[in-house]
Structure 1
């Protein structure tokens, strides 16, 4: 397999990540799940998803999942220390792949980034912020919950700038643009630096579910 997605840890977080990816066009035959539980892997296989049983902190296990050819890796382990070790191992085996990892505690986020993760999601604090927002404004909380669930209501998507938009103000694209990704810099829509748009920019937009084309 080549250019596939590896999901390490197939509990609630791993399954939710897969559901979101599939909602944007990822096929089951483009996914390999790695989990230490044979029952979990058997369950994945019953759903038509290839799996590898084993400890993903070990290079041999990740090599069985063909990590060296993977396009992206989602690390959704139960323990933060395991997530760090898996990230270190995966990055050593594939310097180019995109690694997205989840941790429970925010203090472990920097360590994961140092270990090679491109993006780190802190599950405990993210859930806490959503709870707090829902208390302060149930409507705002409902909108955020809608955005989190890909494929229903509103979706948050990333797309390239088209030629007709080059040189224009970010607010004149016809889409509800949240941020502009320019190189490795994420620029807010209200930042004067966001405009004019450049051909190599990518836009983070909010769209009606089902109206967005995949970003490829």
Structure 2
């Protein structure tokens, strides 16, 4: 494989991340899952992914998954110290891949960054902030939960700027633009530095996922099957 996605750890976080990237358009046969549990790998292959049984901190296991040729690496083991070791080894094998890692505790996030992760997601901190938002504003909490669950309702989507949008302000586009990616910077839609959209920009928008078309034999709205 080349330019594929490697997922290290197929627990709750790894499985959810894998399903999210596939819901965004990545083919399942372009995903390689690494996990020390053979039963977990059996479950991953049953879903259509390629599986490698082994310890993701070992370079020989990562090479079996062809990490050195991967375009994206998702690191989601159960332990933060394991995440650090996997990140260090993966970055040594592949200096250019995009590496995203998950940690439980926020205090370990800087260490993941120093180890070579491009982005670090703190699971306990994110869950805590969502709990706090939900208790203060249940409606806002529902919207955030909808955005987190990809594939239905509202989704966050990153896309290139169209030629018709060049020269317009972000709020003048048809989509709801929340951020503009310009070079290596992520600018808010209302940031004075954003100005107007450029052809080389990318925008992060909130879109509504279309409802799937009912298949043959599916009940029509308002009709209850006998």
Same fold by TM-score greater than 0.5: yes
Could you state the TM-score of these two structures normalised by the residue count of structure 2?
A: 0.91
**Match runs of 1:74-85 below 5 Å:** 74-85=74-85
Indicate the SS of the match to 1:108. helix
Equivalent-residue separation in structure 1 for 2:119 and 2:6 (angstroms): 15
- Name which of structure 1's ranges 126-135 and 164-173 shifts more when overlaid on structure 2: 164-173
Aligned 8 A contact 1:76 1:101 in 2: yes
Displacement, 1:38?
1.3
CA drift of 1:206 comes to 0.2
Deviation at 1:210, TM superposition (A): 3.7
Q: How many residues align structurally?
A: 211
Mapped partners of 2:134, 2:96: distance in 1: 38
1:174 match: secondary structure: coil
The corresponding residue for 2:28 is 28
2:183 matches 1:208: no
Q: Equivalences for 1:30-69 in 2 at 5 Å?
A: 30-69=30-69
- Distance in structure 2 (CA, Å) of the matches to 1:48 and 1:57: 24
1:53-102 Cα shifts (integer Å, max 9, x gaps): 11111111000000011110100111111101101110110111110110
* Secondary structure of 1:152 counterpart: coil
1:2-52 superposed Cα distances (whole Å, 9 cap, x missing partner): 111111000000110111111111121111100111111122122222111
- Check if 1:176 corresponds to 2:185: no
Distance between the aligned counterparts of 1:43 and 1:150, measured in 2? 21
Check conservation: 1:151, 1:210, Cα contact below 8 A: no
Q: Which residue pairs with 1:121 in the alignment?
A: 121
Which residue of structure 2 aligns with residue 198 of structure 1? 198
Query: Which one has the largest radius of gyration?
Result: 2
Q: Which residue of 2 aligns with 1:88?
A: 88
Q: CA RMSD in A?
A: 1.1
SS at 1:85's partner residue? Answer: helix
SS in 2 for 1:194: coil
Q: Which stretches in structure 2 are left out of the alignment for 5+ residues?
A: 212-226
5+ residue gaps, structure 1: 212-216
More deviation, 169-178/128-137: 169-178
CA distance in 2, matches of 1:65, 1:16: 20
Q: Alpha-carbon deviation of 1:148?
A: 0.5
Q: Are 1:187 and 2:187 counterparts?
A: yes
Secondary structure in 1 matching 2:95? coil
